[in-house]
Amino acid sequence: MIIPQFCSWLENTRMASDIRASTWLFPTIESIHVLAITMVVGSVAMFDLRLLGIASRDRSVSELHKEILPWTWAAFGCAVVAGSLLFSSDATKYYHNGPFRMKMVALLLIGLNTAIFEFGAFRGVSRWDSERKTPLAAKLAGGISIVLWIMVVGFGRWIGFTKM
């Protein structure tokens, strides 16, 4: 009961009402959301392809990790802020939307996959840092990440076709 109540409260805030009432606020915030997501997916893919041993094999994994992932996190932060604003404008409907829920589940799984990699395989990265061939755990993390992000984009698009 807490979440539906929170959704009701959220969508009745001044900010959420303004977004709903405006002709241009939602599309503008949404454009920022899409731009941020494409930068997240694109940058994560660069790192994941390195984990899979497919691209950027001339760079070490830890080097790419240091160079790329801060940008990924920054873009992700923007996407979350924009997404939260979009969500607030019609919280109850989004909360009950199937593709929206699946998008959130996919994001949770991405978080899990990331944590498992960061505290697992990546801990021992110095052993395989500059190798073209990466350990299986790294390949799995990279592959799972790409698949899940593709699903996030797909579910996200699907919301637009199912939101009542």
Partner 1 sequence: MLPNFCNWLSNTPLSVKIQNILWIIPAVQTVHILCVSIVISTMAMLDLRLAGLTGRSQPISRAVNRWVPWVWGTLPVMLFTGCILIIGEPTRELMNPYFRAKMAMLAVVVAITAFVHLRNKNEGYWDRRAIAAKFAGAMSLILWVGIIAAGRWIAYY
Residue 39 or 137: the one with the smaller Cβ distance to partner 1 is 39
Minimal distance, residue 27 CB to partner 1, in Å? 5
Minimal distance, residue 102 CB to partner 1, in Å? 13
Shortest CA distance to 41 belongs to which of 134, 158, 150? Answer: 150
Residue 11 or 33: the one with the smaller Cβ distance to partner 1 is 33
For 21, how many CA atoms within 13 A lie in the half-sphere containing its CB? 8
**DSSP code at position 128:** T
Chain positions contacting partner 1, by CB under 8 A = 23, 27, 30-31, 34-35, 37-39, 41-43, 45-46, 150, 153-154, 157-158, 160-161
Minimal distance, residue 118 CB to partner 1, in Å? 21
Residue 21 or 150: the one with the smaller Cβ distance to partner 1 is 150
Residue 119 or 161: the one with the smaller Cβ distance to partner 1 is 161
Residue 34 or 81: the one with the smaller Cβ distance to partner 1 is 34
Minimal distance, residue 120 CB to partner 1, in Å? 26
Minimal distance, residue 151 CB to partner 1, in Å? 10
How many whole angstroms separate alpha carbon 56 and alpha carbon 45? 11
The first and second tokens of residue 43, run together, are: 């940058």
Q: What are phi and psi of 35, to 5 degrees?
A: -60, -45
**Terminal-to-terminal C-alpha distance of the chain:** 22
Shortest CA distance to 44 belongs to which of 75, 82, 79? Answer: 75
How many whole angstroms separate alpha carbon 51 and alpha carbon 142? 5
